Amino acid sequence: MQLGMFMMPLHPPEKDRTQCFEEDIELVTRADELGFTEIWVGQHHTVAWEPIPSNDLFIANVLPRTKNVRLGTGVSILPQHHPVNVAVRLAFLDHLSRGRLNCGFGQGGVATDWGLFDLPDPQTQGLMTVEAIDMILKLWQTNAPFNFEGDFWHIKIEHRDAKDGMGELLKPYQKPHPPLAMSVIRGDSKAARMSGQRGYIPISTNLVPANTLADHLKKRGNHLLTVRYGGYHAAFILANQLRKLGNLP
């Protein structure tokens, strides 16, 4: 049996931040010692309960403290970052981990985070997320010169000088790229369909109704390859709900 963990993480708002981060580091290192297969780390900027604003920096910190566990961004909130920054930072992290990195992407769901970055409505953020994923994949798999022009970002390197090393972009350690995941809340969402169609790992949460978790499975149909649900109790809730639906013994 393989065990994984999703950590937002959760801490009382009044708790000392440094102590919170030290406890999170200890939790990850202990999980690695116990044989956990993977750990996903959340990211928010304005939530006192979930104080990690940069999950890639946290992963970089725990990498040398762990040996086997795979570490994933759960998720990188793409409308709040430029696709180039996400692509090169995760590629760099993949090399530092020697291929122990999973990459989770999503649009985020915290209104105060949206306001902090002056982001548009959630539907537009969803379109930004899809465009960012596509651009990140192109950056990981394309050598310059290139010109990627979307509705929200324009990314280009017009000239590449291989002799002098100019115009070279770092590619991931894993080929063609690390395993990809998407955050999914509603079973009928575009993210749910996209994760199934593209074979991405769906990351859900224990903060949605149990029947919604079960719906995530039903909506994917034949596209479902792997399901890994975030949240401390989500797996048990999901199993119970599927039994009620007659999909589990």
- Per-residue confidence band for 217, with pLDDT thresholds at 50, 70 and 90: low
Using an 8 Å Cβ cutoff, are 178 and 171 in contact?
no
- Mean pLDDT of the chain, nearest integer: 85
pLDDT tens column, 59-113: 999 999 999 999 999 999 999 999 999 999 999 999 999 999 999 999 998 999 9
Give per-residue pLDDT as tens, 84-93: 999 999 999 9
Structure tokens at 105: 């992407």
Q: Please tell me the distance from the alpha carbon of residue 41 to that of residue 54, in angstroms, as a whole number.
A: 9
Length of the chain, in residues: 249
Do β-strands 201-203 and 4-7 pair in parallel, antiparallel, or remain unpaired?
A: unpaired
Which CATH class name applies to 4-183?
alpha beta
Q: The whole model's pTM is what?
A: 0.85
**Which pLDDT tens digit goes with each residue over 152-202?**
999 999 999 888 889 999 999 999 999 999 887 766 677 777 877 888 888
Q: What is the mean pLDDT of residues 12-39?
A: 95
